[in-house]
Amino acid sequence: MSCELQNQSTNQVWSMPRIGDPAPEFRAMTTKGKLNFPSDYGDSWKILFSHPADFTPVCTTEFIAFANMQEEFEKLNTKIVGLSVDSLSSHIAWVRNIKEKIVWDGNANVDINFPIIVDLSKKVSNLYGMLMPGESNNACVRAVFFIDPKNIVRAIIYYPLVLGRNFDEIKRVIIALQTADAHDVALPANWVPGKEAVLHSPITTDEAQERCAQEGINCTEWYLCTKKL
Ligand code: BEZ
């Protein structure tokens, strides 16, 4: 399931998964071989991201940032998959070039070990709403899809071409979603691991009354209560 949009002037239809939708399935070639997404990743969390183009400066810094964090994401049971509308040979040449030539922010000799999807046909980019014609006619924007072990889209972040992503935020989103699921709570503004979580709103007057008196729960009002995890 996904949201279908139609361009009124060209009649072109493209889709866009929404939060809560099953992640659209596809088969694609990547720098690590054929990929059946999302089934190949079983019950891992998945981060599917698009970048505008190989051999471009901001994308290169993002790839180094993702590569540096891949081990941390593995520890969070999270697989990373990149995508652009470039060819397989372009992806391979760029990854090799990053390792051999790029020095950035104290990083050199960087291995890009996550797969990069080849999407010359724009099949996957259209399926996931990664192409935004107002921003670029032929390159993906910087989209990030967070997909849970049941293959449901849980969060989506979009950045424009000129702005590299905040990787601390990407990691925070994964940890926050896993925390919300594990403890059946919500997370407040600027939440980071270690901070208190927010209780879901009460659904009865009795519940509203009881929670304020409960030990370990801090309420500033009946609808805004927090607890340590
Ligand atoms: C970049 O990654 O630097 C970039 C790519 C496409 C358009 C603008 C910037």
pTM beyond 0.85, yes or no:
yes
- State the alpha helices, DSSP H only, in 76-213: 88-101, 123-127, 167-183, 205-213
**Ligand 1: nearest atom to the Cα of 57:** 3
Reported confidence tier of residue 1, pLDDT bands at 50, 70, 90: low
Pocket of ligand 1 (CB under 6 A): 52-53, 56-59, 139, 161-162
Ligand 1 centre to CA of 18 (Å) is: 26
| Residues 150, 176, 161, 33, CA torsion sign | negative
Q: Which of 54, 56, 104, 136 to mutate to test ligand 1, by most ligand atoms within 8 A of the CB atom?
A: 56
How far is 56 from 49, CA to CA, in rounded Å?
16
Domains of the chain by residue range: 3-166, 184-229
Report CA(42)–ligand 1 centroid distance (Å): 32
Residues 146 and 173 sit within 8 Å (Cβ to Cβ): yes
CA distances from 154 to 19, 48, 148, 174, 202 (A): 5, 12, 7, 9, 23
Question: Which residue from 51, 70, 71 is spatially nearest to 62, judged by alpha carbons?
Answer: 51
pLDDT per position as a tens digit, 66-111: 999 999 999 999 999 999 999 999 999 999 999 999 999 999 999 9
Overall fold of domain 3-166: Glutaredoxin (3.40.30)
Q: Tell me: the pLDDT tens digits for 16-31?
A: 899 999 999 999 999 9
Instruction: Compute the distance from residue 108 Cα to the ligand 1 centre, in Å.
Output: 21
| Beta bridge partners of residue 4, listed in sequence order | 15
Predicted confidence (pLDDT) per residue in 188-229, tens digit: 999 999 999 999 999 999 999 998 888 999 999 999 999 999
- Answer yes or no: CATH 3.30.1020.10 is held by domain 184-229: yes
Q: What would you report as the CA-atom Rg of the chain, rounded to the nearest whole angstrom?
A: 20
Catalytic residue among 59, 140, 212, 225: 59
Q: Is 219 a catalytic residue?
A: no
Asked if 154 and 145 count as a contact pair (C-beta separation under 8 A), the reply is no
Tell which one of 55, 138, 162, 165 to mutate to probe ligand 1, the residue whose CB is within 8 A of the most ligand atoms.
Answer: 162
DSSP structure string for 150-162: T-BEEEEEEE-TT
Q: Relative to the CA of 62, which ligand 1 atom is closest?
A: 2
The 8-class DSSP code of residue 35 comes to E
- Are 6 and 13 in contact, with CB atoms under 8 Å apart? yes
pLDDT single digits (tens) 127-169? 999 999 999 999 999 999 999 999 999 999 999 999 999 999 9
